[in-house]
A = this chain, B = another copy of it.
């Protein structure tokens, strides 16, 4: 056995994430590793908190990146807020609501499921009914931006509904943060987690989270210890809690934090509202091209995420063959369908650094060529110009 260095072929990443990481962020990633208790590093951690507060639009003190991917951010929220016997109303309209249910159950809680069709937004009336039917509910949990379908739910209204029934909310913002409107403080969101590899365009491996005072006080008043030592916020905050005195808890992923810091500096330079507007505008261009080709979106316009475009696969076209051809001949990654939508849709991401006019043209052209060559009946040769017209 002799294994040599790995040199990945550069791709254009237009799947459900990771998205294209910019050269600036890759450069930051490769800066010299320093100690996780080095005063310079601690200074960077203070800036990180401010930058994440900016991205989440919050003043929450308890705002930091969990040292593991988004799934661990989800688990941080559930394992700290849910105790055995607690009731949680979980909205499911895609893959990630199901994962929330798993989290509740594994914490010893009871999940009351509110189900909606995949591709639809969470139905407020159903949630209200569930909260009425379950007056002992402690938490309402929902996904703001379903990465598996591209549907957006009304996080502001759902949070208000939860508060009217005296519940906390846990919000999955893995795919929304940086890409669509999200206002943690204005909307009163209690606990939220995200990922770095979607609209922030940092490499995967960290999960930004934020908790308001209300959530923090629920955690402080737990009757039982958090079942995870690694994710126990009462311990983690000895390290991330601010001030000059940082106690060792675990060794932070130093270089990943450099990269996230740089990605957030870029977000701040652009301005978060401008980033939201860019995602909306680019979506309109991609959409125009996709529809001109004759393909269809599975999510209604009103509930559609700009950054995750789930498009039905035209009849007679081999899903996997198309994606392979795009990857091998164009170095272009688009996403497969997940869960109930496997084999039925492609998921075209327009996230962060990957959300730009060049990528849209490149993707529409590649899709058109590949599908046409496979003999599918689409309107060929019009998509790129239609998209360009939208951007003119």
A119 within 8 A of B: no
Which residues in B have their C-beta under 8 angstroms from that of A249? 71
Query: How far, in Å, is A58 (CB) from chain B's closest CB?
Result: 14
> Do most interface residues of chain A lie in helix, strand or loop, or is the interface mixed?
loop
A201 to chain B, nearest CB (A): 9
Bound complex: CA of A79 vs CA of B231, how far in Å?
A: 13
Q: Are A333 and B10 in contact (CB under 8 A)?
A: no
In the complex, which residue of chain B has the Cβ closest to the Cβ of A13? Answer: B35
Q: Which chain B residue shows the least CB distance to A258? A: B6
> Which interface residue of A36, A203, A262 has the most chain B CB atoms within 10 A?
A203
Of residues 1 through 47 on chain A, the ones whose CB sits less than 8 Å from some CB of chain B are 1-11, 13, 15, 17-18, 20-21, 24, 26-36, 38-41, 44, 47
A51 to chain B, nearest CB (A): 6
Copies, count:
2
Q: Contact: A254 with B204, CB < 8 Å?
A: yes
| Segment with Cβ contacts to B, from A220-228, A296-304, A369-377, A384-392 | A220-228
> Which single residue of chain B is at the shortest CB-CB distance from A27?
B30
User: In chain B, what residue has the closest Cβ to A44?
Assistant: B6
Q: Is A380 an interface residue (CB 8 A)?
A: no
A51-66: CB near B (< 8 Å → 1, else 0) gives 1001000000000000
A40 touches B228 (CB 8 A): no
For the complex, what is the distance from the CA of A79 to the CA of B230, rounded to whole Å? 11
A112 is an interface residue with CB less than 8 A from chain B: no
- The verdict on A190 contacting chain B, using a C-beta distance below 8 Å, is no
Q: Of the candidates B28, B36, B106, B204, which one forms a contact with A253 in the assembled complex, judged by CB atoms under 8 Å apart?
A: B204
| A172 surroundings in chain B (CB, below 8 A) | none
Q: Is the CB of B28 within 8 A of A21?
A: no
List A residues 57-88 near B (Cβ within 8 Å): 67-72, 74-75, 79
Q: Tell me the bound Cα distance from A118 to B122 in angstroms.
A: 55
Query: What string of 1s and 0s marks CB contacts (under 8 Å) between A254-269 and chain B?
Result: 1110110110110010
Interface residues on A, range: 35 or more
Contact: A230 with B36, CB < 8 Å? no
- Output the least CB separation between A207 and chain B (Å): 10
Say whether, besides A75-B228, A102-B229, A256-B253, A34 and B5 are in contact (CB < 8 Å).
Answer: no
A103 at the interface (CB under 8 A from B): yes
A18 and chain B: residue at smallest CB distance: B33
| Nearest B-chain residue to A250, judged by Cβ | B71
Top-10 shortest CB links A-B: A205-B253, A30-B30, A68-B68, A71-B250, A10-B32, A203-B255, A204-B251, A21-B33, A26-B30, A8-B34
Known: A69-B253, A195-B251, A203-B255. 19 other contacts (CB 8 A): A8-B38, A9-B40, A11-B32, A11-B34, A13-B33, A27-B30, A33-B204, A67-B69, A69-B251, A70-B250, A70-B251, A74-B230, A102-B229, A105-B225, A106-B228, A203-B256, A204-B251, A253-B253, A255-B256
Taking Cβ atoms with an 8 Å cutoff, the residues of A that contact B are 1-11, 13, 15, 17-18, 20-21, 24, 26-36, 38-41, 44, 47, 50-51, 54, 67-72, 74-75, 79, 99, 102-103, 105-107, 195, 197, 203-205, 225-230, 248-256, 258-259, 261-262, 264-265, 268, 327, 333, 338
